[in-house]
Amino acid sequence: MTNQEIEIEFKNLLTFDEFTSLCSAFKVNSDDFFTQENHYFDTPGFALKEKGCALRVRKKGDTFTLTLKQPAAEGLLETHQIVSEDEFVAMKSEKNGLISGNISSILMDELSISPSEVIYFGSLKTNRAELSYKNGLLVLDESNYIDTSDFELEYEVNNYAEGEKLFHELLEAYGIPLRETKNKIVRFYEAKACSLTGEEGQK
């Protein structure tokens, strides 16, 4: 099963104190958080990253969803494809590449990337709380990956201009500075690159 949607979201990295303050302000407690895992894929030469795209499998409960994110006029075009656990395990092995399906076809036909070259890079685990906020979805994330932890506020909306205004007003109301915030996959890859550089430096 495959479906597509446009994702419009605003995000801002938080300090631990800012994160806990927002949890308190919105009455979010530990029971409101659930865990999801993102497993990232690209080619050895980062062909997807070079085109501004991202490919992941998200494990949420017992469901595995393969998602391709591509740049759009506003936000990102997301293509979702449900995969089985066996298919996910096969994709993680070194020589299988991406499974067949609509996303594999998009890689070949639109991005000129061979699905057979796609390899597994690693995972990022997020503890997430979600709540409705002014016609959008407010998300509080604590992410853990490659000996790194960070905290983030996201706001998912349908209207870019309105969402941007409300998000900036929210940050201002709680005294949180607007920070340039990269996507989780970019932060993951940067942390991975640093870890590899550190390993090479120790050899």
Map residue 113 onto helix, strand or coil.
Answer: coil
Ranges under pLDDT 50 in the chain: 200-203
Q: What is the pLDDT of residue 203?
A: 44
Q: What is the pLDDT of residue 93?
A: 86
Domain of residue 45: give its range: 2-202
In CATH, what number is assigned to the domain containing residue 73? 2.40.320.10
Q: What is the pLDDT of residue 198?
A: 64
Number of domains making up the chain: 1
Q: What is the pLDDT of residue 117?
A: 94
Which residue in 16, 49, 52 sits closest to 141, CA to CA? 16
- Please state, in angstroms and rounded to a whole number, the distance separating the CA atoms of residues 70 and 63: 22
Which residue in 154, 104, 150 sits closest to 129, CA to CA? 154
Query: What DSSP element (H or E) covers 149?
Result: strand 148-157
Residues 49-87: pLDDT tens digits? 999 999 999 999 899 999 999 999 989 999 999 999 999
Q: What is the pLDDT of residue 199?
A: 56
Taking phi over 0 as left and psi of -120 to 50 as alpha, with beta for the rest, 128 belongs to beta
